[in-house]
Structure 1
Amino acid sequence: MSRRMGRILAFQGLYSWEAGGMSKEDILELSWADSETGKDVVDLETATFARVLIAGAIENQALIDQRIKQNLKGWEFDRVNKVSLSILRMSVYSLLFQKDIPPSIVIDEAVDISREYGQDDSYKFVNAVLDNIGKACAKENSVK
């Protein structure tokens, strides 16, 4: 299983959901992932991981977007480009709900994906927002 590939698929799926208006059900099928290369590129574990991220981010979008908005410094939510927003949603879902994955890994993966797929300096923006949310999550978990 490649969690990195699962995160990339989740980001691409969330982007398609946000920008392309694909239904959640169509995105979760991941048939679009295989059609991009013309062969079966996604093993079952990777596909399952991607589906968890996609479904979780969509189902918890209101909470996730609220967290993102709370951590935008000098930036309007409506101005966040769809690539960065998709990466943020996927990653914030992980930070909030996947407690078995260290926040540093979630943030590092998001930054790497943002470097690869985002605009020039979008990785800095993604890093700053996720770092703030990760610290808030750690603080919340230590209080519980």
Structure 2
Amino acid sequence: MSRRKSRIIAFQAIYSWDVSGESLDNLTQFSWVDSKENLDESELTFSRLLIAGTIENIEKVDELIKSHLSENWSFDRLNKVTLSILRISIYSLVFQKEIAPSIVIDEAISIAKEFGPQDSFKFINAMLDKISKEQ
């Protein structure tokens, strides 16, 4: 597993938390992850950090998203996959200063291309770029 896989697991957990209200404890036990993934403890630790940090700071993260939406977009209108990718990425940009913003943005774009709606990566890239320049 890699840091990218850790981020994918974190995004999936945040998505599940948002859609189903799954508890943080259940999400970070990773029983829902495919057993074929060969999960490494250090990478699971990174996933746990992203999940817990994002949820603990969700109000600040969501406020940043809301403040960077154009007038014709509402927070509630955001696709849940896009929102989940934005949430873990903004958490990283704001609270994980040891990770270069370019890495956070590149990873978010890759995850969006794989899992997000068509062209969502462009929206994610633009928002994360603006937020990273403000940090």
- TM-score, normalized by the shorter chain, greater than 0.5: yes
Q: Which residue of 2 aligns with 1:93?
A: 91
Match of 1:62 in 2: 59
Q: Does 1:24 align with 2:24?
A: yes
Q: Which moved more, 1:55-64 or 1:1-10?
A: 1-10
1:73-120 superposed Cα distances (whole Å, 9 cap, x missing partner): 231111011101100000000000100100010001001100000001
The aligned residue for residue 107 of structure 1 is 105
- State the distance in 2 between where 1:132 and 1:29 align: 34
TM-score of the pair, normalised by structure 1 = 0.89
**1:62 maps to amino acid:** E
Superposition deviation, residue 70 in structure 1: 0.8
List structure 1 segments (4+ residues) > 4 angstroms apart after TM superposition.
none
| TM-aligned CA deviation for residue 19 of structure 1 | 1.0
CA distance in 2, matches of 1:117, 1:41: 21
Letter in 2 for 1:72: L
Query: How much has 1:39 moved relative to structure 2?
Result: 3.4
C-alpha separation between the residues in 2 aligned to 1:119 and 1:130?
17
Q: What's the CA shift string for 1:35-79, capped at 9, x where partnerless?
A: x3x435211011000000000000000000001111112311110
SS at match of 1:10: helix
Q: Distance in 2 between matches of 1:134 and 1:39?
A: 35
- Count of aligned pairs: 134
Which runs of 5 or more residues in structure 1 are unaligned?
138-144
